[in-house]
Structure 1
Amino acid sequence: MQSNPDQSGQTGGPPGGYRFAVITMSDKGVRGERQDTSGPALRELFEAAGYRFCHYALVADAIPAIVAAVTTAIDRDRADLVLTTGGTGVSPSDVTPEAMDQLFDREIPGIAEAMRAASLAITPQAVLSRGRAGIRGQSLIVNLPGSRKAALENVAAVMAAFPHALDKIKGSPADCATLSKQ
Structure 2
Amino acid sequence: MTKATEAPHNEWADLARLVREYQQVADNPVIRPLGRHYDVVITVAGDAGERLLQLMDAVQPGGCGPVVAEEGRPWLYWFVPPGTAGTWHNRYAACLTTPMKIAFPPAGHERPPGPYWLRPFRSGVRVGPALLHDALNAIQPGLTPYDALGELLGLGREGPWPTA
User: Please, what TM-score do these two structures have when normalized by structure 1?
Assistant: 0.24
Which has the larger share of helix? Answer: 1
User: Please, what TM-score do these two structures have when normalized by structure 2?
Assistant: 0.26
Q: Which one has the largest radius of gyration?
A: 2
Query: Which of structures 1 and 2 has the larger relative contact order (alpha carbons within 8 angstroms, sep 6+)?
Result: 2
